[in-house]
Structure 1
Amino acid sequence: MGFVRGRRRVAAAVAAFVGVGAVAVVVHRVLAPAEVDTPARSGYPAAVTPAIGVVGRLPVAPLIVDGRLRVYAATRQVYADQPADSRHRVTPYWSYRRWPAEVSGVVAEGTTVVSRWSDGKLVALDARTGQVAWQADGPAPAEGWTGRRTGAGAVWDPPGLFLARAADGRAGLVVSGPDGVRGFALADGRRLWSADVDGGCRTDVGTTAAGQFVAVDRCSGSAAVEFRDVATGAPTTRLSPTGATAELAVTPVGCVSHRSRCRGLRTTGPIDGAGRGWLVGDGEPVAAPALDPTGVELDGEQAIGSADGVVTGRSVRTGEELWRRADLGPARIVAVQPGRVHLLTEANDLVTLDPSSGAERSRFPLEVGRDGIGWVPGLAYAAGGYVAMERLREPVAPEADDQRYFLSSEPVILAAT
């Protein structure tokens, strides 16, 4: 009897050991860091020329890449669908996942899509195949996923992630975090430079068309706008607007993409809220009073503003009025892309004007299905002739949950202009 009981105890111990081992294997497989790249299984789609008007509605915010794909971000995934003018989101063309890191931001230029993750990893994907082109270690962001349900904050306003182009034309990437800022070559992910900075007293602004990275530096007490060469990281100049205090705010204008390769800035002080516009190029910033008013945008040599029911285009260098439109009623500029300025009227008509002449390129109601026009615009994005916009419930409640905050389960409207 003792021998039998002993065998039973051994068998039970072995079974328990095997069970614990199996659980450990499962836990390891589930929780261990992982990377899953699901490349495209079909050929690269052709570019499309969409019909002018509302394309459709989407549950998440897209980046238009190469006129062929739409790229999206989720908490732990970057993925694409196609064609770019599909009415709804469709089966992914390719997908890339990481665990347990979270997506912080995504940018795209040409056929390169770069994602930044909460652990600081930068992952570049070839948009044509979805395969990893390169990986690099950048400074970790202050937070991971902040894009809410639509992911717009990650793809339309990626924190600390900026496309750049050096003076010699080479494409680059500037990445900032709480403890430092680094520059990378977009082609292969080579780190070009690194600078230790105190993110607690600095605010990123963006990159300029002349190859500089701009930030507001408050670390020495008084605030100044700092410029660095995107190819070397070397400081090039500082702008200290008269009366600047720690509350100095800087808004980039005239950008090729969001806060990237911009041709102008607007500095705003806390005393009277008055802005001062500047053109930024190879040398010192040049005052441009045509950019002073809040909301004025820049395209080429034209400063475009909308106030008191009148839209005007002025020479950014002289302030001379070049054209005006008084037939749109109260309208706000919601997005700008090279060669197009997009305005939203009180009736939620999307009007696209040629910035050089004020001529109307297109106009149509920004509505789809039975959603109507009883909504408030949230974040907006424009690229490749497309405009995409979040639609929010009235009254806007930023602190509410996503079901209350957004208009519907498909709150992003996509249009071609």
Structure 2
Amino acid sequence: MGFPKGRRRIVVAVAALLATAAVAATVHRVLAPAEVSTPARGAYPPAAAAAVGVVGRLPVAPLIVDGRLRVYAAHRQIYADRPVDGRHRTTPYWSYRRWPAELDGVVASGTTVVSRWSDGRLVALDARTGRVAWEAAGPAPVGERAVRRTGAATVWDPQGVFVARAADGRQVVVATGAGARGIDLADGRELWRADADPGCREAVGTTASGQLITVDACAGPAVVEFRDAATGVVGVRWRPPGAGDELVATPVGCGTGRVGCAALRTAAPGEDAGRGWLVGDGEPVPAPALDRPDAELVDGTAVAVVDGVPVARSARTGAELWRRPDLPAARLLAVQPGRVHLLTETNDLVTLDPVTGAQRSWFALNAGSDGIGWAPGAAYAAGGFVAVERLREPVDPTGDDQRYYLTSEPVILAAT
């Protein structure tokens, strides 16, 4: 015998409500904002002492942190593996994931790794444990960037987030976008904030003396502005002599993420011809040795490949320090303190001392049976290591990732 008609309706309504509640709970669990932190379980690894040569190949771009870990970027995740000289990517040492925010950029200093997210949130992780050290609100990033599957743009060339060392030794995270904020790297305290129109202001890097470099075109012809990273106070506002209304400023002699830059190059939009300048506490001073668009600065030395020959000059005086006509035709791939990295036409990696031009190492960038028939993409150099994206020839910038990259593990990592 069934329920009476009225009671049956009540039972059906209650069942429907319970089903709706269950679905709502499931949707909430799946779509609600969430953070998942998976800290390290093993011991912090020792510093690497890798032998010179190719270390291995990776599917994603590594950021070397503290000489001990490799940190990677995914769409909604930042994670690390070890050892730093491992031949392949290994099981994550630690991991941090957010939802639904997307990872926008990563910077690191010492044992602190700072991630910036699409909602502007800044999350600092202790590289030794993977635990959250602090979180802070930052300005939301502006514009969109094309980030391919290696994540190189996120960890090697983050936009709108920098680290600067102030005159008193304090380190400051500066985040820009819809405004600008300075955050103490040690504890996440907000030090200052400033309004800014991202449509006419672009932060391009930080100086070795602790200033944020910004190109400001909001109130007339573009000027280069130097803002104290610790206080937010704008000091020097400068225009290169003879500059037009529009201006492009490219930091030179920087660490990863365009931090600690010792110089910059200015040019009109779309022009290769530029002018090099050394930056410090006052106005920039001319450095003609950095005028070439391919010139790099390392250890006070301006290095460029001129008519196929690597040439080094004093950035301050312009005096030639050395040249290496004996080397095969090569391109300047990257620099880091104590090292100049050149890539030959046959994809040999040649590393020179920037002060003397003496050879430090020379070997083929070849992993396994991959061969040397590839074109270099984005490159990164830090801690004695070099990492390079290998692209399929002929390079098709519009192709999908499978067509664009040489293999499923396109990043080759080498110790120099």
- TM-score bracket, normalised by the shorter chain, equals over 0.9
Q: Which residue of 2 aligns with 1:98?
A: 98
Distance 1:407 1:246, change over 3 A: farther
Q: Which residue of 2 aligns with 1:390?
A: 389
User: Is 1:119 matched with 2:119?
Assistant: yes
Distance apart, 1:193 and its partner CA: 1.1
Contact 2:107 2:257 in 1 (8 A): no
Distance apart, 1:156 and its partner CA: 0.4
Greater alpha carbon shift after TM alignment, 50-59 vs 9-18: 9-18
Q: Distance in 2 between matches of 1:98 and 1:251?
A: 32
Q: Aligned letter for 1:124? A: A
Q: Which residue of 2 aligns with 1:233?
A: 232
Q: Distance in 2 between matches of 1:250 and 1:205?
A: 7
Contact 1:104 1:143 in 2 (8 A): no
Q: Aligned letter for 2:189? A: R
User: Is 1:208 matched with 2:191?
Assistant: no
Q: Aligned letter for 2:338? A: G
Q: Which residue of 1 aligns with 2:257?
A: 258
Q: Distance in 1 between matches of 2:210 and 2:102?
A: 30
Distance 1:145 1:24, change over 3 A: farther
- Percent of aligned pairs sharing the same letter: 68
Q: Which residue of 2 aligns with 1:15?
A: 15
Q: Distance in 2 between matches of 1:58 and 1:263?
A: 31
Contact 2:57 2:410 in 1 (8 A): yes
RMSD over equivalenced CA pairs, Å: 1.5
Q: Which residue of 2 aligns with 1:157?
A: 157
Please give the per-residue CA displacement for 1:293-348, whole angstroms capped at 9, x wherever unaligned. 11111112211111112111111111111111012222111111111111111111
Q: Distance in 1 between matches of 2:3 and 2:413?
A: 76
Number of residues of Structure 1 aligned to a counterpart in Structure 2: 416
Distance apart, 1:8 and its partner CA: 2.7
Q: Which residue of 2 aligns with 1:280?
A: 279
Q: Distance in 2 between matches of 1:243 and 1:396?
A: 38
Contact 2:161 2:175 in 1 (8 A): yes
Distance 1:327 1:235, change over 3 A: same
Q: How does 1:128-143 map to 2 (within 5 A)?
A: 128-143=128-143
Structure 1 unaligned segments of length 5 or more: list them. none
Q: How does 1:312-391 map to 2 (within 5 A)?
A: 312-391=311-390
Q: Which residue of 2 aligns with 1:189?
A: 188
Distance 1:2 1:130, change over 3 A: closer
Distance apart, 1:195 and its partner CA: 1.1
Q: Partner of 1:400: helix, strand, or coil? A: coil
Q: Partner of 1:404: helix, strand, or coil? A: helix
Contact 2:226 2:237 in 1 (8 A): yes
Contact 2:313 2:322 in 1 (8 A): yes
Q: Which residue of 2 aligns with 1:45?
A: 45
Q: Distance in 1 between matches of 2:26 and 2:145?
A: 26
Contact 1:257 1:337 in 2 (8 A): no
Q: Which residue of 1 aligns with 2:28?
A: 28
Q: Distance in 2 between matches of 1:325 and 1:47?
A: 33
Contact 1:256 1:338 in 2 (8 A): no
Q: Distance in 2 between matches of 1:311 and 1:22?
A: 68
Distance apart, 1:402 and its partner CA: 1.1
Q: Which residue of 1 aligns with 2:6?
A: 6
Please give the per-residue CA displacement for 1:188-228, whole angstroms capped at 9, x wherever unaligned. 11111111111111222100001111011122231111111
Q: Which residue of 2 aligns with 1:296?
A: 295
Distance 1:28 1:145, change over 3 A: farther
Distance apart, 1:154 and its partner CA: 0.5
Q: Distance in 1 between matches of 2:47 and 2:245?
A: 47
Q: Distance in 2 between matches of 1:220 and 1:7?
A: 73
The normalised TM-score by structure 2 is 0.97
Structure 2 unaligned segments of length 5 or more: list them. none
Q: Distance in 1 between matches of 2:2 and 2:353?
A: 95
Please give the per-residue CA displacement for 1:123-148, whole angstroms capped at 9, x wherever unaligned. 00000000000000000112577422
Contact 2:157 2:256 in 1 (8 A): no
Q: Distance in 1 between matches of 2:138 and 2:400?
A: 32
Distance 1:273 1:144, change over 3 A: closer
Q: Aligned letter for 1:357? A: T
Q: Distance in 2 between matches of 1:69 and 1:288?
A: 36
Contact 2:120 2:140 in 1 (8 A): yes
